[in-house]
Amino acid sequence: RRAPRATASNAPPSVGAVDDAVDDGGAAADEVLPPKVRPAPAAASDDDDAQRVAELERMLCWMLDTIITQHEGTETLDLVHSLRDGFAELRREGDPRAEASLLRTLEGLEPMQITQVIRALGSYAALLNVVDEAHAQSRRRAELIGDTENAGVTWPASWDETMKEFQAAGMTRTDVESLMASVEFLPVFTAHPTEARRYVVLKLLSRVYALCGQWLAREIPDRVLMSKMAVEVETLWLTDEMRSRKPAVLDEINAGLNYFRLSLFSAVPEVYRAAQRSIAKNYGSPPLMPAADGSAGDPDKADSLSQRLSGLCDMPDGGLATCMKFGSWIGGDRDGNPFVYPETTVLASLLASRTAIGEYITRLRDLQGRLLHSKRFSKTNGNLSERLLANDADFIAKIPAFEDPTYHADEPYRAKLKVMRHRMEQRLRLLNQNLYELNDTVAEESNNSARAKEVIVDIEYNIDPVPGLEAGEDQYGTPEELLADLKLIQEALLEGGDVGAASGPLQDLIRLVETFGFRLQALDVRQESTRHIEAVDELLRALGVCDDYAALDEDGRVAVLEAALQSSPPDEAALSAALEKCSNDTRQSVEVLEAVATVSAVVGDEAVGEYNISMARTASNVLEVLTLGWAVGAGLAEKTGAGDKEWSAKLRVSPLFETIPDLEGMPDALERLLASKVYRSYLKAAGDCQDIMIGYSDSAKDGGIMQSAFSLYRAQRSIQTICETAGCRWRIFHGRGGTVGRGAGPAHESIMAQPAGSVDGTIKFTEQGETVTYKYGNANTATYELGVGLTGLLKASAPSCNPPLADEKSFMATMSELAALGEKAYRGLTDDTEGFYDYYYSTTICYEIGLMNIGSRPAKRKSGDRTKASLRAIPWVFGWAQCRVTLPAWYGVGSALRDYIGDDAERLAEVRDMYARWPFFKNFLANVQQSLVKANMEIAEEYSQICEDRITASLVFCLIKSEYESTVEQIIRVSGETGLLGAEPELKEKLDDRNLFLDPLNAAQVILLGRRRRAEASGDEEEIERWQDPLLRSIKSIAQAMRNTG
């Protein structure tokens, strides 16, 4: 339970009160804090927990108030309070005179004044978001270690609840372990929409999060925590939240890698530990440790420390296979981003590899200080002990430390680890050498040579060479070689009975190497399909293969491409001569495939992810990319002999179907592709798994959220059927955005809502830039997010837990009608309403997004083109979210339900039955409800006043408001609840809490945006410049309060 959201509205203490309170001890703290901010009683209960959270919220707000007073004066704080509290009162009472007074206050502010108001409101929101996150983690922790009354009560997607479901479905421990060995969970990080906040601010907030966790856990005296929090809150206020320049792709690459260091290296091993603990808790302790000779363990020793530890630790013999991998688009996504060069792709892969290698070296060094076992006192089998260094003589001879014969002479593990560190450091030296060679090229492309050098020549990874050795000499060639040595140490420890040492940091490192290898992440490449058609057309003409490929129909194209793929590729000289005749775009398309080959050769084949083809429509689109790989050679897509499997097939190609028409045409394209004998033989050599990506963002922008959701569901059913018929496996890559309007939703529920059987043991999905922070900004939250995603995958992949729905066909028939009605309503607004896009461009911050310095990719496809096709999905959703319409996430749903159900009681019962029993439909409407709660038509109407064409503004806004009201009414009607999110009151309360800051922020943005639009119309550049900074800060603060951008 939550206490009411604190606002710390009482007057702040004098300047320096925070320091005085801490310096003078607890009594002084009691005197200066607001009345309710007191140490909570020691006894733990739900009420105490709510009280403790309320105290934390009030304290952080009080600290911020104090710091604003100290640096900006009491007038600024009084202004902030009067606006915040005034708009809160306005929401409760709705007094028009009070509203007019508040707006007059805002309109009378100078640029710096309104800037400080916006910054203060954004800072409150940021701090309270952190409290929410820390509170959620605290509650999860309390549930896991609860007292007798609450023990065993965990959240629905937890490991414990999942194991209970498996037991209820009749699954054994072996079944669970086999299931876990068969699945693959693969998040893919993207840079767009880029996280709006600066990385230094994110780091600062992560420190506040850690302090909040300590406050809630009562780990440190309150006055000590208060002192530390005050420092961070003051730094937050004095830090400019705006970037001074647009981030380059290199910055985005580095930001993406930071999350591995920040949280994922810690979270990944903990996920497996949590799973192991839950299995042991629900199925009993794991089998006894095997004896040294491989026989079963001694039952009489079952109560030994080693045996008890085996039920608590992530044991090497625990039966849990490593099933998480990670991917990235950052540095490989060329679709619409002219700043991603072929060299950028190589750089991204090398930096990712260096991040993994650096982590392993750090952990090997740590293990050297932990595994201190002496030959004299440990019980390791002599033969096994000798094997530790049996093959290391040549390495030892080259390591200066071993020139001293007494160096680790009696400590075999430390000696082995020293050798292992040497070999990993040699790999790091070779990586650095390759990176330094790229430095000049990347510096030139990023237009910031100093920044490029700072990232590439990173002092954290800069190690001196070994005298007499070339970089890379003696290195581990593969992750498997490193794993073999780590497991040899583990085997020796287990044989000596040292279960704790075998299952602690050593096991963590094994998990990391199994998960990340030497690649860290598989880098996907993406490009738009027409670029490949143009490149293949030019290249085949230059090679003398086909004079006019682009003029051929689909059958003709497939025939030409199949013939090319079965022939010998051009040699290097022939390819170079052909490329001389081609355009720069074609040369770059080929160079991208050469970059892929370079990554495969330097880092390893596992570093190469999929080649994603955006706007794919035909089978030939896939064969075109393979043909470019064929031309490059290097074993990317090369026929090496006779027979179906005689291919070197390093290139995995994934067509991306995005728009509604493309999703409808996908089955024909996929059937045609898998019917190609040439392609099928290639696919078998590549693992016989067809990758297909489906796009949520563009399909929703194209045909509305209801048609998009159902088209994607239907597409997954088709993929499953077609691939089963063709006899190959499939993997669906879900291109979800960060908001409901772009396909987002809770991970566990979203996975469970997929068609039964379509997941097929694997889930790959994008993690959008602005949501990555909220999911992976700290290790605790990352552990939770990975855990609930993985349990969702396991349940969706277990037939006994996710059986096919008997009524799915009839439900799909009804949903087909609903989707068509929803699309009709949506297109009626977005395609058929005159002036709609003039309204959108004038009343949203769509133009200003491009000024925000939050991403390297252009926000618009074509300048000057006011059509749906010219808009990217991200600013489309971002713009509607900022003005509190959230239109892409719900428009058309109300019309569809109303027009289908009407006054027909049977149809209402049918739709209610769908809501009750069909996970897809219930999850869909649940996500729509969240977006409706975030919307506010009164605020949206204020934005509509900015549009100078009052007839258009009135028409468009009335259509939007009417559909909003209809959607709210119909969803309540179907769900049977008394209001939106009636079944989730805590979530509703959390979303409503944000209005405390959003309402004044939106009011300020309406004023600022209106001034900018009027200044643009009159050509007053001075006025535009005058109000631009506070307007851009309002965008960032609103995104902060709403916790998403696009």
Catalytic residues: 701
DSSP 262: I
At 588, the amino acid letter reads Q
Q: Which ranges of 727-854 would DSSP assign to H, the alpha helix?
A: 747-752, 769-776, 779-797, 808-830, 836-843
State how far the alpha carbon of 109 is from the alpha carbons of 413, 476, 723, 1016, in Å: 68, 64, 63, 21
Task: Give me the half-sphere count of Cα atoms (radius 13 Å) on the Cβ side of residue 703.
Answer: 23
d(CA 509, CA 516): 10
Phi, psi dihedrals of residue 764, rounded to the nearest 5°: -125, 130
Q: Which parts of 591-681 are beta strand (E)?
A: 608-614, 637-639, 647-649, 652-657
Residues in CB range of 1027: below 8 A, 6 or more apart: 111, 1008, 1011, 1012, 1015
Q: Are 603 and 353 in contact (CB under 8 A)?
A: yes
Task: Calculate ∠ Cα 715-612-428, nearest 5°.
Answer: 135
Structure tokens at 165: 């479901």
Burial 441-462 (b: 16+ CB within 10 A, else e): bbbebbebeebbeebbebeebe
Of 627, 653, 676, 795, which Cα lies nearest the Cα of 731?
Answer: 653
Q: Are 104 and 82 in contact (CB under 8 A)?
A: no
DSSP 902: T
Of 666, 676, 567, which Cα lies nearest the Cα of 618?
Answer: 666
d(CA 926, CA 744): 12
d(CA 714, CA 809): 11
Greatest C-alpha distance within the chain:
91
Task: Give me the half-sphere count of Cα atoms (radius 13 Å) on the Cβ side of residue 129.
Answer: 25
State how far the alpha carbon of 150 is from the alpha carbons of 45, 51, 139, 154, in Å: 10, 19, 12, 9
d(CA 459, CA 462): 5
Task: Calculate ∠ Cα 388-390-393, nearest 5°.
Answer: 115
Phi, psi dihedrals of residue 977, rounded to the nearest 5°: -85, 165
Residues facing residue 996 across a β-bridge: none
DSSP 177-195: HHHHHH-EEEEEE--SSPP
| Start-to-end Cα distance in the chain | 31
Residues in CB range of 240: below 8 A, 6 or more apart: none
Which three-class secondary structure state does DSSP give residue 941?
Answer: helix
d(CA 605, CA 651): 9
Residues in CB range of 617: below 8 A, 6 or more apart: 529, 657, 662, 665, 669
Q: Are 949 and 1016 in contact (CB under 8 A)?
A: no
d(CA 137, CA 135): 5
Q: Which ranges of 94-157 would DSSP assign to H, the alpha helix?
A: 96-107, 111-144
